[in-house]
Amino acid sequence: MGRGPILTRGHRRNAVVLGSGSGSSYKGPIMAVVSDRVIGSGSGPGSGSVSGTLADRLRLGSLTEDGLSYKERFIVRCYEVGINKTATVETIANLLQEVGCNHAQSVGFSTDGFATTPTMRKLHLIWVTARMHIEIYKYPAWSDVIEIETWCQGEGRIGTRRDWILKDNATGQVIGRATSKWVMMNEDTRRLQKVSDDVRDEYLVYCPREPRLAIPEENSSSLRRIPKLEDPADHSKLGLVPRRADLDMNQHVNNVTYIGWVLESLPQEIIDSHELQTITLDYRRECQHDDIVDSLTSVEPVEDAEAVSKIQGTNGSIAATENNEDLRQFLHLLRVSGDGLEINRGRTEWRKKHAR
């Protein structure tokens, strides 16, 4: 399974930015910043340190006015762009993770990098990703600026969800939407745990009061079950190995790496002719640094002919959807080589590329 947002920045909370070093003439002004002790524990305001680092000031993101969501802008860098001259889906996934981390940090969580509430830390509980669903309607190109808004809310008794909306900063057009489901796990026993009321209360203050879904459609594929694909798969790529850069501090494979692995077993002609529109991943088991992974892909017939015709703007029935050129759909499986233990299941939807 994936983990919650990674990285520790414990030292930053106490960093004070003032006249920094002999060479600089800039006196960093002090900015009021939410500290752990102001929020969430009910102690009086102003008792915590009120300092902000320069990066906080320069950060292109902030809580929205009502404090219930967080927005940040990102520029797409040249090395984040792939064979289509547009940002890769891994880049998008990385940015979603980044803005999620920054949101958690801005409301005072995440002093240990895990977006955990104080009670969770006391009980050695962490968030792990259960499902990740990303839809991209228009991929940004190098130097494009995108604005991502994110928020979280409870999801039943066992989990929480985080949603994102991605917009083209210049036009305001929605270029993507994403949603994810997280469950709580004891980091020592690695067993799942129900979200207790005191934990829920700690983070619910930051969540919208009314359910707010990035993808509200009831027939959204973000809700659809992902079946296990049948042996033998149509395509496969065996023997994938985690690289050093794929590992987080605990030597577990980063969530985003799985996306790359899922794509590895897609046939070249799909990559050449189509663009990834939607990816849904169910995280089942964590992958360690010395695991070897097999990536399997099979075509999934697009069952809902009506949905397809809506997308295409055509009437009438569409038989033999497997041969439909414009929209392709696949099921995926990542499993440990050898014993075949399931790591992830996935579904992807692809649309035909158009000349840019």
Partner 1 sequence: MVATAATSAFIPVPSPSAPDPGFKPKKLANLGGMKSKLTSSGGLQVKANAQAPPKINGSSVSLTTPVETVKHEVEMSSSSSSSPPPRTFINTLPDWSMLLAAITTIFLAAEKQWMMLDWKPRRPDMDMLIDPFGLGRIVQDGFVFRQNFSIRSYEIGADRTASIETMMNHLQETALNHVKTAGLLGDGFGSTPEMCKKNLIWVVARMQVVVDRYPTWGDVVQVDTSVGPSGKNGMRRNWLVRDYKTGEILTRASSVWVMMNKKTRKLSKIPEEVRGEIEPYFLDSDPVVEEDSRKLQKLDDNTADYVRTGLAPRWSDLDVNQHVNNVKYIGWILESAPLKILESHELAAMTLEYRRECGRDSVLQSLTAVSSNGVGNLASLADIECQHLLRLEDGAEIVRGRTVWRPKYAENFGTFGQLPAESA
Catalytic residue set: 250, 252, 287
Distance between CA atoms of residues 27 and 12, nearest Å: 18
Burial class (CB in 10 A: 0-12, 13-18, 19+), 337: middle
Q: Determine which helix (DSSP H) or strand (DSSP E) holds 165, and give its type and residue range.
A: strand 159-168
Of the residues 27, 194, 212, 352, which one makes contact with partner 1 according to CB under 8 A: 27
Cβ nearer to partner 1, comparing 123 with 242: 242
Q: Is 118 in the site for partner 1 (CB under 8 A)?
A: no
Q: Is 338 in the site for partner 1 (CB under 8 A)?
A: no
Cβ nearer to partner 1, comparing 165 with 266: 266
Largest CA distance in the chain: 74
Of the residues 122, 156, 157, 170, which one makes contact with partner 1 according to CB under 8 A: 170
Per CB under 8 A, which of residues 45..84 are in contact with partner 1?
45-46, 50, 53-60, 65-68, 73, 75, 77-79, 81-84
Q: Is 106 in the site for partner 1 (CB under 8 A)?
A: no
Q: Is 38 in the site for partner 1 (CB under 8 A)?
A: yes
Q: Is 14 in the site for partner 1 (CB under 8 A)?
A: no
Burial class (CB in 10 A: 0-12, 13-18, 19+), 160: buried
User: Which range, of 9-17, 181-189, 217-225, 318-326, touches partner 1 by CB under 8 A?
Assistant: 9-17
Q: Is 202 in the site for partner 1 (CB under 8 A)?
A: no
Using alpha carbons, select from 131, 135, 128, 89 the residue that is nearest to residue 345: 131
Listing DSSP states for 166-181 in one string gives EEETTT--EEEEEEEE
CA distances from 80 to 61, 172, 180, 262, 308 (A): 20, 22, 22, 18, 31
Per CB under 8 A, which of residues 232..261 are in contact with partner 1?
239, 241, 243-245, 247-249, 251, 254, 256, 260
